[in-house]
Structure 1
Amino acid sequence: MSASAATLAAAATKGFSSSRAQRVFVASGTPEGIRSFDWNPVSGELTAAGVAANVSTVDWICFSPDRKYLFAACEVDSFNGKPTGKVASFRVLDGKLEQLSAQNSASKGTCHCAIDHTGRVLLAADYGGGSAGSFRVTDGKLSPLVWSEHYTVHGPNPDRQEAAHAHFASFSPDNRFAYINDLGGDMIHIYTFDTETAVLKSAGAYHSAPGAGPRTLHFHPNGHTAYCMNEMASSVDVLKWDKANGSLTRVTTVNLLPPNAPLLNPKDAPQGNTGCDTVISKDGRFVYFANRGTDFLYSFKADPSTGALTPMERTGTGGKTPRNFTLDPTEHWMLVANQNSSNLAVFPRDLATGKLANEGKTVACPTPMCILFA
């Protein structure tokens, strides 16, 4: 570890007197789909604690608002004899997972799920089938699918946008609107929803630049700014969110790539570039974006009132192909799930400046897809 990294590591541990471990769950694109780790916030150490749940090919996991239940999106092509993906739920008890239910999604390739702020509505996005679906949640158990939509619009890129590809589900800060990012259709579908029935109704759409491939959507804590990560363009649309009608309006677009970086070549993707995910600090002062191909995290200062971004620096991800990354609960550490190098990387973070260390620690984890602190 370099001197600068050591300095940040020392700052990260300052003020902590306890080394009490915290459980971390990691979604894995393997037959043993959810792994357990113990996290030490003082040293930034992750220690493998075994398989938490044998549920195949988990792309994403999320907690209920009370953190009693965990939900998983499984990117499989068939479940229960039907050509769909799978959504499963688990009870969280003493750092362990007990499966409660599993249901068919709307179509194959389920890659993401999100639960609303009441904990009664779960959404799932199906990349392979280009669809989204909703489920009622009762005491952690999922109902069968109650609403679904199969998208038909597709963008100009014949290799990546030959069809719709739903990639991400989210809810507005006030829980009045739901959003589905459609990478294949270059749009974000906007809905109202009923927390009792889990049924969604269309409320419009946001359209990205053609061929941009909107992948994820994250809301800034200021309550009126959102960031849409465009996978194919390796760019971020900074959006104004209108709480009156749920609409999204582009304010500006930020390019993540360094000069002369190659764009995605579908026939040679590892040497191309694709945007991935977004992390926002709790105080709204810093925003981080991940890029794959040229693997890096890009740190930005954010104006807490407007959400406007000022670039800081690009740093490495500690591996290949960052699929997801997150701050630990103290926000003194950034953890990265590097899908293609099968490792988790941990970087010290300066709380005051938002700066990430250039070097960090790594621990093996097979095909990590999503990191979740219990």
Structure 2
Amino acid sequence: MKSNYGFMISGLTAAMLAVSATPLYAAPKAPAARYAYVGTYNPNGEGVYRFDFNGKTGALTNRTLVSQLPNQAQMVAARDGHTLYIGNEIDNYNGGKHGAVAAYHINSQDGSLSLINQVDSQGAGPVFLSLTPKGDHLLVANYISGVVASFPIDAGGKIGETGSSQQDSGPAGAGKPAAAAEGSFAVSDHNGPHAHMVAADPSGKFAFSTDLGLDRIYQWKLNDATGALEANDPPFINASSAGAGPRHFVFHPNGKVVFLINEEASVLTSYRFDSAKGTLTQLHSLSSLPANFKGTNFAAGIVLSKDGRHLYVANRLHNSIAQINVTGEGAMAWGGEIWTRGDYPRTLTMSPDGRYIFAMNQRSDNITRFRVAGGSGKLAFVDDYIPVGSPSQMVIAP
């Protein structure tokens, strides 16, 4: 964001300005309004809330309820900022057994939303939405049923009524996470397929999806024309340890490394990405918890700094944000942790300029904000609680 600049004006120029009816230069324009949207879980959360987002201070103000469909918890915004896609994390859409995904037009004047259309998510409980690099297909992970799906997006942002889908299948993962901290009872949903995330690689030629229940990372070829997910060779790799529960992942800015957080084990794993074959090879693993921690934790949201040097992970029950210092070769080192000032941080959101991180504290019904120090990446709590019932995810629209 540009700051106001002083101008050195000569005496002659100043005199000209004094008598001229037309300015010799245009005053800097005020920054365009930017909006943040927060998806929530019922009943504490009523739907999707819009906030005015101050890009300079990171403040969220003027909370307004802009949509009230049930369990609108997962979101992704189009890169042009005109469309917001929201998942309804339900299993009874239109009386059936699936969830739903909806497209909304964003009003640039006030940030309000108007529904474009809503479609069946092709599975139950959509928990993650992402767009392909071109923005012409929407990818959806349906947790309850273990289905990943792809939908075409037209020029107006509308979601195609019929998408392609793939059903995860196989034996359930180990009941207890082998790499978890001593005393951990982080055992959940290793009873069948549970797709947790799906996203394309930077080229848009390949995609990956995680299945927490099967302890697998699926490798897909992404059809450029249709957006269909086609099994790669091999179609999947196993999690870094038994019962780890793969959850979310991010690509390093160099496009050569992927960092993945395992929910049940609370362990980060880095992978080398083969951009020619679209496959992953495991590199290193590191706990998202302090060395002396004992007990149960469920790791959750993950974000990477723009420069690719600092990775941040939300720890639920430990209620912390871990900082992991990383390299473009996949190396990882513990950088510290900070209390979230809330309970059960489900996801993290980084501001577009990388100067702030927001924690969605699901059980304490609030969002907390942290300032990111340049260079070191250390976090400092900003004493500003934002009340929101059961926040799940926040998206700052471009």
TM-score by length of 2: 0.84
1:207 aligned to 2:238?
A: yes
1:282 aligned to 2:294?
A: no
- Structure 1 residues 118-127 or 141-150, which shifts more? 141-150
Which structure 1 segments of 5+ residues have no match?
A: 1-12, 264-271
**Map of 1:193 onto structure 2:** 222
The number of residue pairs the alignment matches comes to: 353
Whole-angstrom CA distance in 2 between matches of 1:367 and 1:14 = 35
Which residue identity does 1:168 align to in structure 2? Answer: M
Contact 1:325 1:336 in 2 (8 A): yes
Whole-angstrom CA distance in 1 between matches of 2:330 and 2:253 = 9
Whole-angstrom CA distance in 1 between matches of 2:40 and 2:293 = 29
- Specify which of 257, 278, 282 is matched with residue 250 of structure 1: 282
Whole-angstrom CA distance in 1 between matches of 2:245 and 2:365 = 25
Contact 2:173 2:243 in 1 (8 A): yes
> 1:168-208: per-residue Cα shift (whole Å, max 9, x none)?
11110111111111000111111112232222110121211
Q: Report SS of the residue matched to 1:149.
A: strand
Q: Report SS of the residue matched to 1:206.
A: strand
Q: In the TM superposition, what is the alpha-carbon distance from 1:217 to its structure 2 partner?
A: 1.4
- Structure 1 residues 353-362 or 208-217, which shifts more? 353-362
Which residue identity does 1:349 align to in structure 2? Answer: V
Whole-angstrom CA distance in 1 between matches of 2:148 and 2:217 = 12
1:167 aligned to 2:196?
A: yes
**Map of 1:332 onto structure 2:** 355
Q: Report SS of the residue matched to 1:80.
A: helix
> 1:303-337: per-residue Cα shift (whole Å, max 9, x none)?
2x324222211101121111111221222211111
- Structure 1 residues 105-114 or 38-47, which shifts more? 38-47
1:350 aligned to 2:364?
A: no
- Structure 1 residues 328-337 or 157-166, which shifts more? 157-166
Whole-angstrom CA distance in 1 between matches of 2:357 and 2:31 = 18
- Specify which of 247, 260, 263 is matched with residue 228 of structure 1: 260
Whole-angstrom CA distance in 1 between matches of 2:61 and 2:270 = 37
1:155 aligned to 2:173?
A: yes
Alpha-carbon RMSD across the aligned residues, in angstroms, is 2.0
Which residue identity does 2:322 align to in structure 1? Answer: Y
1:142 aligned to 2:165?
A: no
Which residue identity does 1:258 align to in structure 2? Answer: P
> 1:141-165: per-residue Cα shift (whole Å, max 9, x none)?
1112321122222212185211110
Which residue identity does 2:85 align to in structure 1? Answer: F
Whole-angstrom CA distance in 1 between matches of 2:247 and 2:267 = 10
Whole-angstrom CA distance in 2 between matches of 1:325 and 1:183 = 19
Whole-angstrom CA distance in 1 between matches of 2:227 and 2:382 = 44
**Map of 1:316 onto structure 2:** 339
Whole-angstrom CA distance in 1 between matches of 2:332 and 2:2 = 29
Whole-angstrom CA distance in 1 between matches of 2:221 and 2:31 = 44
- Specify which of 317, 323, 335 is matched with residue 293 of structure 1: 317
> 1:271-327: per-residue Cα shift (whole Å, max 9, x none)?
x20111211111112111111111111112222x32422221110112111111122
- Specify which of 366, 369, 374 is matched with residue 392 of structure 2: 369
Change in Cα spacing, 1:50 to 1:247, as seen in structure 2 (3 Å) is: same
> 1:206-262: per-residue Cα shift (whole Å, max 9, x none)?
211210000011101011010111000001111111101111111011111224534
Aligned 1:253-268 pairs, distance under 5 A:
253-263=285-295
Change in Cα spacing, 1:217 to 1:87, as seen in structure 2 (3 Å) is: same
1:119 aligned to 2:135?
A: yes
- Specify which of 77, 81, 101 is matched with residue 67 of structure 1: 81
Contact 1:20 1:40 in 2 (8 A): no
Whole-angstrom CA distance in 2 between matches of 1:301 and 1:261 = 19
Which residue identity does 2:210 align to in structure 1? Answer: N
- Structure 1 residues 37-46 or 281-290, which shifts more? 37-46
- Specify which of 109, 113, 137 is matched with residue 97 of structure 1: 113
**Map of 1:27 onto structure 2:** 39
Whole-angstrom CA distance in 2 between matches of 1:73 and 1:246 = 27
Whole-angstrom CA distance in 1 between matches of 2:115 and 2:85 = 10
Which structure 2 segments of 5+ residues have no match?
A: 6-29, 176-186
Q: Report SS of the residue matched to 1:142.
A: coil
- Specify which of 135, 141, 144 is matched with residue 128 of structure 1: 144
Whole-angstrom CA distance in 2 between matches of 1:192 and 1:225 = 18
1:40 aligned to 2:58?
A: no
Q: In the TM superposition, what is the alpha-carbon distance from 1:36 to its structure 2 partner?
A: 0.6
- Structure 1 residues 145-154 or 242-251, which shifts more? 145-154
Bigger-Rg structure (1/2)? 2
Q: Report SS of the residue matched to 1:357.
A: strand
Which residue identity does 2:39 align to in structure 1? Answer: A
Contact 2:269 2:284 in 1 (8 A): yes
Whole-angstrom CA distance in 1 between matches of 2:365 and 2:33 = 23
Change in Cα spacing, 1:108 to 1:255, as seen in structure 2 (3 Å) is: same
Whole-angstrom CA distance in 2 between matches of 1:147 and 1:191 = 13
Identity of aligned residues (%): 29
Whole-angstrom CA distance in 2 between matches of 1:212 and 1:16 = 51
Q: In the TM superposition, what is the alpha-carbon distance from 1:89 to its structure 2 partner?
A: 0.7
Whole-angstrom CA distance in 2 between matches of 1:159 and 1:213 = 9
Q: Report SS of the residue matched to 2:150.
A: strand
Q: In the TM superposition, what is the alpha-carbon distance from 1:64 to its structure 2 partner?
A: 1.8
